[in-house]
Every structure is written in structure tokens, then in C-alpha cells.
């Protein structure tokens, strides 16, 4: 028996038009001793820079190079170049302290310990697909990791992966370290550093902009990972741009919770960690959920739940982190988290639920964007009983929504059959070269998938008509 499948033509016509602060509440910060540095990029002691370093920062080679390095306060060049002297005053040519201790200007509680200036003290990533790992001398847990570095010649974009002793990992994609003279950066922990040439040993500092600079990457670990021992951090620079130099790491740990949390709220936002509230969703919407009202402590456990009515709740499989991203919602749903404290028995506290209302299907499609349709607009579309003429020179926004006319009964809603063939005819304007395509959202998820697109792939010519065969899947949703 055939099943009737109807489709509001607005979806069809849209498819034709659519183209393609650091928290300082209870944290303890501690620099981490590391191994895995590959180069010495800090000149120190007496002698030529090329003799006291193994690579520059902004050169065009994987090692060595004749461009610039950083310098320590005890650097003495072959011609007596000495930083922090009358010739090279510290206010203009500041060198790195002998201690190697860097205090962040973003948060004075965070300090970094540079490795010895007389040994390899940087992981340097050069060229495309460059990778390296900094291992912890003593593996241990953390809630957050702070890493400082810089980049020569251009910004570097990294994928940073934290490795745990149980074999699991947590990846942080698209971590950017700006060029060491970049301006307008919000993650600068130290700036106005003097530098010295590997070519001629000259001490150099331009003064404008106030570089070179060190930048900070902040990695917040998932709650489920905060009790695991970290063994190392792996860095991957996929693109060739930028010479990445990674110098030091500090970890933040938090006190363990001692009591069951009481007043908690569920927060839904439009982006991960964002502040813009989300109240409605389409099937294609990512719903970013978090719990507010918790102290910054370890020891909490989480179980996210969903409900159709706000009364009967079901656990969401695998949703046991402090945050959860709900996807594929097809009906209005309530969300909450059950939270417990490991040091307070088995008592649970449920966060106040948040309701995410399901958008109408018609409100979930892309809005067509085009600059004009002067001679290549669509003049007519037919599908079954639908015959919808339109003007090829319609004005902005250059598409037409026919759903109101179909609701009013003045325009036919075509009937086609699930599992059977159908034909869409698209007539276009006077442009001599023009193509057409049709998207039909068979699964009604608010997204036009690749399998839901049909086209002849040939031009219909001026005032031509493309007759496009389509096949309705047997599993297409009705309505």
C-alpha cells in the first residue's frame, strides 16, 4: 500500500534559493617540570649567540638559522653587548631574569618556570604537520593547564592533546599562539622582551609594537579527567604558518568538595561556555548545557537527564561530565543534571531544569542569501499538483516564502508517494547559462543533507526548464 507524502513548497522553494578572568576561588597554581624540549632559543653567558643557542625563533629553517633569539640577563656578546646596561638599558632592551621565573600579568598568582638557559628550553615546531610532546617529569592531576609560548613569522594554530596515565586523552582544537609582535591580543603574559641576532650578535628591540611577547594557552579539563594523572601534552601544528615555540607549563588544582551542593541551576547556551541563553532549538541545533551554582572544586559527579514533561526523567547515556551537548532534539525537552559530592555520601541534588522548546520545522531552514536575480530568477516550479509561477525579477530578498499561501489553501500542497518516483520542473529567466537544484528535507531534521539534493547538472538555457527526477525514500516522514 502506498503512503502519501506531502511537502510544503516553502521548503522546496527555499531549497531552490539556498546555495550552497581568571578564577581565583580556591585554585592552587604550581609550575610543572617538563621534558621533551628540542631547542635552546635563549642566549646566555659569554660568546656568540650561535654558540649558546641551537635555533632562532623567527627563521626559515627547522634548526639553526640567522634570525632572532631571546636573551638572558647574563648574556655577553663577542663585542661586549650586555643587556640591562647603559648601552642597552632594561627599560628598552629587557632580558629574561636569571631565575627563569615568569609572573603572568593576567594573574599574578600564576607563575611559569623556564627551563635552563644552558640547555634545550623550548619545544619548537617548524613547518607543516609538525608535532612534539612535553612530558611531565612527575605525572599528576590538574583541573586546568596553562602553557606559555610564542610564534615567529606568523601566528601558529595548534591542536593540543592532554595525555593521561590510563591511556585516555582530551584534545583542544584551534589553539592559536599569535606572532611574537602581534597587537591586540588578550592572552599576553609578558611583553617587551629584548632579542638578539644569531647572525651578528646584536641586541635589538624595536619598541613599537611592544614585543616580543609570550602568550598563554588555558586548557580547562573535563571534570571526569581532573582526578587522572597527566603524563604529557602533545602539540600538532598542521599548517606551515608560524614557528611555534612552547616554553613552560603551570597546572591549577582545586580543593575537593566536602558537601552536597544545594541550589543549582541548569544553563543552556548557544555556544560552548558562552553566555547567550538558548531557549528554542531545531533538530540541527547544538544545545550546550552546564550547571551553575557549584564551587570551583573537584569531587563532583554528574548525570544528565532529559524529560518530555519536566516530571518523568531518564538518564542520558554517557552524559556524565560537568557539561553536556544535546543534539538532534525533535520535540520540546527539559534538561537537568543530578550532582553529587564524592566526600558526602550518595546524596544527589538535581539542578533546576531548563526547557528547550522545539522550533517549528518551517523555522529551521536556512535563509537564502544572494545579491540579485535580474535575469536568472525562478519563474515557475511544478511538483505533482503544485504549479507555482513567480517573477524572475523579484526584488530583495530575492526569494519567496509560499507557506502562508499553502496554509490558506490558495496554493496546492503537492502529494507524492514514499518509495516512489517524482519529477520537479524548474523554469528560469532569460540568462543563457543557468542551473537549478532541489533540496527536500525527507527526514524533517531542519537540515538539507547531501542525499536530499537533486540536480541535472546541465544548463537549461535562456527561459529554459529543467525537469529533475527525484526518488522519495521509503522512510521519508509524512506531512
| Cis status, amide bond into 209, omega within 30 of 0 | yes
Q: Are residues 166 and 292 in the same domain?
A: no
Q: Which residues contact 468 (CB under 8 A, 6 or more apart)?
A: 423, 424, 425, 426, 436, 437, 438, 454, 455, 456
In total, how many domains does the chain have? 3
- Provide long-range contacts, Cβ within 8 A and 24+ apart, for 97-104: 97/72, 97/73, 98/72, 98/73, 98/74, 102/148, 102/189, 102/190, 102/214, 102/248, 104/146, 104/189, 104/190, 104/216
Q: Which of 254, 288, 309 is the last residue of a domain?
A: 254
Asked whether residue 259 is domain-assigned, the answer is no
| CA gap 223, 299 in Å, rounded | 8
Confidence of residue 8 (pLDDT cuts 50, 70, 90): very low
Asked whether residue 479 is domain-assigned, the answer is no
> How, if at all, do strands 68-71 and 42-43 pair?
parallel
CA-based nearest residue to 232, from 163, 146, 131, 170? 163
Mean pLDDT, residues 298-315: 95
pLDDT for residue 371: 66
Asked whether residue 260 is domain-assigned, the answer is no
Q: Are residues 229 and 299 in the same domain?
A: no
Q: Are residues 219 and 355 in the same domain?
A: no
What is the tens place of the pLDDT at every residue in 139-184?
999 999 999 999 999 999 999 999 999 999 999 999 999 999 998 9
**Do 288 and 321 meet the contact criterion of CB atoms below 8 Å apart?**
no
pLDDT for residue 23: 38
Domain membership of residue 333 as a residue range: 265-361
Three-class DSSP labels, the chain: CCCEEECCHHHHHHHHHCCCCCCCCCEEEEEECEECCCECCEECCECCHHHHCCECCCCCCCCECCCEEEEECCCECCCCCCCCCCCCCCCCCCCECCCCEEECCCCCCCEEECCCCCCCCEEEECCCCEEEEEEEEEEECCCEEEEEEEEECCCEEEEEEEEECCCCEEEEEEEEECECCCCCCCCEEECCCCEEECCCCCEECCCCCCCCCEEEEEEECCHHHCCCCEEEEEEEECCCCCEEEEEEEEEEEECECCCCCCCCEEEEECCCCCCCECCEECCCCCEEEEEECCCCCECEEEEEEEECCCCCCEECCCCCCCCEEECCCCCCEEEEEEEEECCCCCCCEECECEEEEECCHHHCCCCCCCCCCCCCCEEEEEECCEEEECCCCCCCCCCCCCHHHHHHCCCCCCEEECCCEEEEEEEECCCCCCCCEEECCCCCCCCCCHHHEEECCCCCCCCCEEEEEEECCCCCCCC
Q: Which of 343, 361, 379 is the last residue of a domain?
A: 361
> How, if at all, do strands 230-237 and 156-164 pair?
antiparallel
> What is the Cα gyration radius of the chain?
30
pLDDT for residue 15: 33
pLDDT for residue 93: 64
Asked whether residue 64 is domain-assigned, the answer is yes
C-alpha cell at 274: 558562552
Instruction: Answer yes or no: is pLDDT of 3 > 50.
Output: no
**Strand partners of residue 147:** 217, 249
Confidence of residue 448 (pLDDT cuts 50, 70, 90): confident
Q: Which residues contact 208 (CB under 8 A, 6 or more apart)?
A: none
Asked whether residue 181 is domain-assigned, the answer is yes
pLDDT for residue 87: 65
Q: Are residues 391 and 456 in the same domain?
A: yes
Q: Are residues 355 and 377 in the same domain?
A: no
Instruction: Answer yes or no: is pLDDT of 40 > 90.
Output: yes
Instruction: Answer yes or no: is pLDDT of 298 > 90.
Output: no
Instruction: Answer yes or no: is pLDDT of 472 > 80.
Output: yes
Instruction: Answer yes or no: is pLDDT of 238 > 50.
Output: yes
Q: Are residues 218 and 269 in the same domain?
A: no
Q: Which of 220, 254, 288 is the last residue of a domain?
A: 254
Mean pLDDT, residues 75-96: 73
**What's the CATH number where 145 sits?**
2.60.120.1380
Confidence of residue 1 (pLDDT cuts 50, 70, 90): very low
Q: Are residues 234 and 117 in the same domain?
A: yes
**Do 177 and 213 meet the contact criterion of CB atoms below 8 Å apart?**
no
Instruction: Answer yes or no: is pLDDT of 77 > 60.
Output: yes
What is the tens place of the pLDDT at every residue in 240-274?
999 999 999 999 998 888 887 789 999 999 998 88
Asked whether residue 247 is domain-assigned, the answer is yes
Q: Are residues 141 and 243 in the same domain?
A: yes
pLDDT for residue 4: 39
**What's the CATH number where 288 sits?**
2.60.40.10
Mean pLDDT, residues 321-336: 95
Q: Are residues 453 and 467 in the same domain?
A: yes
Q: Are residues 160 and 216 in the same domain?
A: yes
Q: How far is CA 401 from the centre of its chain?
A: 34
Query: Ramachandran region of residue 80, left (φ > 0), alpha (ψ -120 to 50) or beta?
Result: left
Amino acid at each position: 500500500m502506498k503512503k502519501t507524502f506531502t511537502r510544503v513548497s516553502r521548503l522546496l522553494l527555499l531549497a531552490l534559493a539556498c546555495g550552497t578572568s581568571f578564577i581565583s576561588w580556591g585554585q592552587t597554581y604550581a609550575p610543572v617540570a617538563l621534558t621533551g624540549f628540542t631547542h635552546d632559543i635563549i642566549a646566555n653567558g659569554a660568546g656568540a649567540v650561535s654558540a649558546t643557542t641551537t635555533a632562532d625563533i623567527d627563521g626559515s629553517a627547522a634548526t639553526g638559522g640567522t634570525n632572532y633569539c631571546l636573551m638572558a640577563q647574563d648574556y655577553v656578546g663577542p663585542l661586549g653587548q650586555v643587556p640591562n646596561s647603559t648601552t642597552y638599558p632594561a627599560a628598552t632592551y629587557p632580558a629574561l631574569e636569571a631565575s627563569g621565573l615568569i609572573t603572568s600579568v593576567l594573574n599574578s598568582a600564576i607563575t611559569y618556570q623556564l627551563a635552563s638557559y644552558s640547555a634545550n628550553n623550548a619545544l619548537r615546531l617548524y613547518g607543516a604537520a609538525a608535532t612534539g610532546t612535553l612530558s611531565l617529569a612527575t605525572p599528576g592531576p590538574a583541573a586546568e593547564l596553562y602553557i606559555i609560548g610564542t610564534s615567529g613569522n606568523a601566528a601558529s594554530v595548534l591542536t593540543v592533546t592532554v595525555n593521561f596515565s590510563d591511556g585516555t586523552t582530551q584534545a583542544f582544537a584551534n589553539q592559536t599562539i599569535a606572532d611574537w609582535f602581534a597587537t591586540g591580543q588578550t592572552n599576553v603574559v609578558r611583553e617587551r622582551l629584548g632579542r638578539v641576532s644569531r647572525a651578528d650578535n646584536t641586541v635589538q628591540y624595536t619598541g613599537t609594537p611592544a614585543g616580543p611577547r609570550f602568550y598563554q594557552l588555558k586548557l580547562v579539563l573535563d571534570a571526569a579527567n581532573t582526578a587522572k594523572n597527566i603524563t604529557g601534552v602533545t602539540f600538532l601544528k598542521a599548517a606551515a604558518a608560524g614557528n611555534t615555540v612552547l616554553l613552560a607549563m603551570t597546572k591549577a588544582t582545586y580543593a575537593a568538595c566536602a558537601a552536597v551542593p544545594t541550589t543549582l541551576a541548569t544553563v543552556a547556551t548557544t555556544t560552548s561556555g558562552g553566555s547567550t541563553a538558548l531557549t528554542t532549538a531545531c533538530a540541527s541545533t547544538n544545545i550546550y548545557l552546564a550547571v551553575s551554582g557549584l564551587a570551583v572544586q573537584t569531587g563532583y559527579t554528574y548525570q544528565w537527564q532529559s524529560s518530555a514533561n519536566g516530571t518523568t526523567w531518564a538518564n542520558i547515556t554517557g552524559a556524565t561530565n560537568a557539561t553536556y551537548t544535546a543534539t538532534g532534539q525533535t520535540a520540546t525537552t527539559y534538561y537537568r543534571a543530578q550532582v553529587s559530592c564524592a566526600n558526602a555520601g550518595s546524596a544527589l541534588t538535581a539542578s533546576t531544569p531548563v526547557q528547550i522548546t522545539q522550533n517549528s520545522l518551517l523555522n529551521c531552514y536556512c535563509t537564502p542569501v544572494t545579491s540579485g536575480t535580474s535575469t536568472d530568477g525562478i519563474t515557475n516550479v511544478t511538483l505533482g499538483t503544485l504549479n507555482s509561477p513567480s517573477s524572475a525579477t523579484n526584488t530583495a530578498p530575492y526569494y519567496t516564502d509560499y507557506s502562508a499561501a499553502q496554509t490558506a489553501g490558495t496554493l496546492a500542497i503537492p502529494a507524492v508517494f514514499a518509495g516512489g518516483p517524482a519529477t520537479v520542473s524548474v523554469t528560469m529567466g532569460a540568462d543563457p547559462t543557468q542551473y537549478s537544484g532541489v533540496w527536500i528535507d525527507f527526514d524533517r531534521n531542519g537540515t538539507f543533507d547531501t542525499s536530499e539534493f537533486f540536480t541535472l547538472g546541465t544548463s537549461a538555457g535562456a527561459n529554459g526548464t529543467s525537469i529533475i527526477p527525484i526518488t522519495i525514500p521509503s522512510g521519508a516522514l509524512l506531512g
